[in-house]
Amino acid sequence: MELDTPAYTFVPLREKDTALVREWLLRPQVRRWWADDPDEHDYPEGTIREWMKAVRGEDPTDMFVIHLDGTPIGVIQSYRVHDYDDYIAQVGPLEGPAFGLDVFIADPALIGKGHGPALIRDFVRQGFDRYGVDYCVIGPSKSNTAAIRAYEKVGFRYLRDYREDDTIDPPHVLLDIHRADLV
């Protein structure tokens, strides 16, 4: 069967995906934005340890491998923002219960082709139902203009600047979207 439009699916990350995601995290365009914890001296192992805690249910983040027409192309994670008091303390008060997400596409050949906005749109729609909320936020580094552009195409709007003090690049922006504004 030929697919006219790309189909994105989000498959829960498993412990056996470790080698795949390690290789992805080491790719320059991923590492540029994900190796941002100054206390993680063994990147990507610290990141993978955190992810696998989530896979085992020891952390409330939900981890997924993004599939494009059945082929794994990246990682997306989401979480109820109110499960993370330290994050709320950094981003400031929110108008109500929200979920947040983080994402990367691993294949440089797939960057800048509109896959990000399209898959994030699908993921956010599913997230509203998964978490039973109508509000979603995302907090990219202020210098990640490509990511911010991609999020705006989904309907995310600038909410405020904030500082993520536990990263190598503290200036961040918080963008938000309501269910009704999903483009």
Ligand X SMILES: CC(C)(COP(=O)(O)OP(=O)(O)OC[C@H]1O[C@@H](n2cnc3c(N)ncnc32)[C@H](O)[C@@H]1OP(=O)(O)O)[C@@H](O)C(=O)NCCC(=O)NCCS
Query: Interface with ligand X by CB under 6 A: which residues?
Result: 29-30, 33, 102-105, 111-117, 140, 144, 146-147, 149-150, 153
- CB contact at 8 A, 101 and 125: no
To the nearest whole angstrom, how small is the minimum distance from the Cβ of residue 172 to ligand X? 9
- CB-nearer residue toward ligand X: 64 or 104: 104
* Of 76, 80, 84, the residue nearest 102 (C-alpha): 76
- CB-nearer residue toward ligand X: 59 or 102: 102
To the nearest whole angstrom, how small is the minimum distance from the Cβ of residue 25 to ligand X? 10
Query: Can you list the positions of beta strands (E) in the chain?
Result: 8-12, 62-68, 71-80, 99-105, 135-138, 157-163, 171-178
- CB-nearer residue toward ligand X: 14 or 32: 32
- CB-nearer residue toward ligand X: 52 or 106: 106
To the nearest whole angstrom, how small is the minimum distance from the Cβ of residue 65 to ligand X? 14
- CB contact at 8 A, 167 and 36: yes
To the nearest whole angstrom, how small is the minimum distance from the Cβ of residue 123 to ligand X? 11
Query: Which secondary-structure segment (H or E) carries 140?
Result: none
User: Three-state DSSP class for 101?
Assistant: strand
Using Cβ positions, the residue closest to ligand X within the complex turns out to be 116
For residue 159, what are the CA distances in angstroms to 91, 164, 176?
A: 10, 15, 6
To the nearest whole angstrom, how small is the minimum distance from the Cβ of residue 72 to ligand X? 14
Quickly tell me which residue has 């990367």 as its tokens.
Answer: 104
- CB-nearer residue toward ligand X: 1 or 35: 35
- CB-nearer residue toward ligand X: 25 or 133: 25
To the nearest whole angstrom, how small is the minimum distance from the Cβ of residue 102 to ligand X? 6
Distance CA(50)–CA(124), nearest Å, equals: 22
